[in-house]
Homo-oligomer: A and B are copies of this chain.
Amino acid sequence: MLTNYSRRTFLETIGLSMGASILLPASTLPDRARADRKLNVALCGLGRYANVLKRGFAESRHCRLAGIVTGTPAKAAQWQQEFKLPAQNVYTYETFDQLRNNPDIDLIYITLPNGLHKDYTIRAAQAGKHVIVEKPMAFTVPDCRAMIDACRKAGVQLAVGYRLHYEPHHIELKRLGQQKVFGPVRLIEASLGYQLAGTPPDDWHLKKAIAGGGALMNLGVYCIQSARYVLGEEPISVTAQYSPVTMPQLFREVEENITWQLTFPSGAVNTSATTANCNIDRFYASADNGFFELSPALSYGPFQGRSSQGPFNFPVVNQQAALLDDVASHILAHKPLPAHIAGEEGLKDMRVIEGIYRAADSGNKITLPPL
């Protein structure tokens, strides 16, 4: 029964489903993965999310935080000490390109502000390093394509930091939706918002040039992702609306709130809202013979949810550690990354984000271009 997953059953299930043994006890790992070799990762951009990733590295089996890139000497000193990093693995943005000469670094994890994702991903690829880039991957579909192409050309792999693919509740949402456990899903409501009234006016999230957009860029991508991976389809059209600005002193350049509606080839519909003026964090899917929902749903968790068969009962996992280990286990085994985390996945979201902005800007229903 779905609702009576034991921890063991669950772990076996996602262990199998991800083609990796990321959460199994070390003693059960296949020989290859038990080898001592870890993937050496340099973190590029030591902001808020880099701090979230600290615990991910601590719990990771296959990744080692081996280097940093930062423009702030105090952060450099602090992280160097905390992770016992050799001085030659500590970079600034000026010395970033010299990473190409450092065989101690296998992968660069880019947690810079959105507007720097494209440039640093391409430069990381040109330095011969694999890349994980945080969401949103970039600002436009052509930018995403350029990043994918640069990585392909350089023979490195590109991942987007889609942590929720490693979260048990979301793995279950995907199963219930894609396997049509309750029949075809007809309607998905997914919304994410944080009350950001206290944000300093100089926060980069408020600057169009560096953030690329507001609530949609930073939060909306989670809603779009959830609709896409639960349905296992790509949307074909979109309508969208900006909502009134309630904090004009902060939201001069990027949208404070936006709502949108996606239509999928099956006829399924997804309605979503993202906002910076209130808290909201919910996912609901209605299918022919049942429903499933999470609330909280799309934040860092812990999540709560249920289906029409009863409450979910899944363990809390460190999403970041699981993501790092899945990326590492594929790269260490010279296997291509799973589609759900590859650069093309970020491009598919960007296609939708671009459509949402076009729809909201024009007031028109936008037919999304073919992929």
Residues of A in contact with B (beta carbons under 8 Å apart): 186-187, 189, 191, 193, 195, 197, 239, 241, 243-246, 257, 259, 261, 263, 267, 269, 271, 273, 275, 277-280, 282, 284, 286-288, 291, 363-365
> In the complex, A117 Cα to B47 Cα: how many Å?
62
Choose from B193, B269, B363 the contact partner of A259 (Cβ within 8 Å). Answer: B269
Chain B: CB-nearest residue to A291: B279
On whether the beta carbons of A263 and B243 are closer than 8 Å, the reply is yes
On whether the beta carbons of A261 and B241 are closer than 8 Å, the reply is yes
Q: Interface on chain A toward B: helix, strand, loop, or mixed SS?
A: strand
Which residues from chain B contact A271 at a C-beta distance below 8 Å? 259, 271, 273
On whether the beta carbons of A244 and B259 are closer than 8 Å, the reply is no
On whether the beta carbons of B186 and A278 are closer than 8 Å, the reply is yes
Which residues from chain B contact A241 at a C-beta distance below 8 Å? 239, 261, 365
- CB A126 to nearest CB in B, in angstroms, measures 44
Which residues from chain B contact A257 at a C-beta distance below 8 Å? 187, 269
- CB A193 to nearest CB in B, in angstroms, measures 7
Chain B: CB-nearest residue to A287: B278
On whether the beta carbons of B193 and A191 are closer than 8 Å, the reply is no
Q: List 25 A-B contacts (CB under 8 A).
A: A186-B246, A186-B275, A186-B277, A187-B191, A187-B257, A187-B275, A187-B277, A189-B189, A189-B191, A189-B273, A197-B288, A239-B241, A241-B261, A241-B365, A243-B267, A243-B269, A244-B267, A245-B267, A246-B267, A257-B269, A259-B261, A278-B287, A280-B284, A282-B284, A363-B365
- CB A291 to nearest CB in B, in angstroms, measures 7
- CB A249 to nearest CB in B, in angstroms, measures 14
- CB A263 to nearest CB in B, in angstroms, measures 6
> In the complex, A363 Cα to B286 Cα: how many Å?
26
| Identical copies of this chain, number | 2
Chain B: CB-nearest residue to A286: B278
> In the complex, A269 Cα to B269 Cα: how many Å?
20
Which residues from chain B contact A273 at a C-beta distance below 8 Å? 187, 189, 269, 271
Chain B: CB-nearest residue to A267: B244
On whether the beta carbons of A278 and B363 are closer than 8 Å, the reply is no
Which residues from chain B contact A244 at a C-beta distance below 8 Å? 263, 267, 269
Residue among A267, A287, A365 facing the most chain B CB atoms (10 A cut-off): A267
**10 closest residue pairs by CB, A with B:** A244-B267, A186-B278, A278-B286, A243-B269, A246-B267, A280-B286, A186-B277, A239-B241, A241-B261, A259-B271
> In the complex, A363 Cα to B187 Cα: how many Å?
21
> In the complex, A246 Cα to B286 Cα: how many Å?
14
Instruction: Tell me whether A280 and B363 are in contact in the complex, defined as CB-CB below 8 angstroms, given that A261-B241, A273-B271 are known contacts.
Output: no
Chain B: CB-nearest residue to A240: B239
Known pairs A278-B288, A280-B291, A282-B284 / 14 extra A-B pairs, C-beta < 8 Å: A187-B191, A187-B273, A187-B277, A187-B278, A195-B288, A197-B288, A241-B261, A243-B269, A244-B263, A244-B267, A259-B261, A259-B269, A269-B273, A278-B287
> In the complex, A215 Cα to B106 Cα: how many Å?
56
- CB A183 to nearest CB in B, in angstroms, measures 9
> In the complex, A245 Cα to B245 Cα: how many Å?
34
Instruction: Tell me whether A280 and B187 are in contact in the complex, defined as CB-CB below 8 angstroms, given that A261-B241, A261-B259, A288-B195 are known contacts.
Output: yes
Chain B: CB-nearest residue to A238: B241
On whether the beta carbons of B282 and A193 are closer than 8 Å, the reply is no
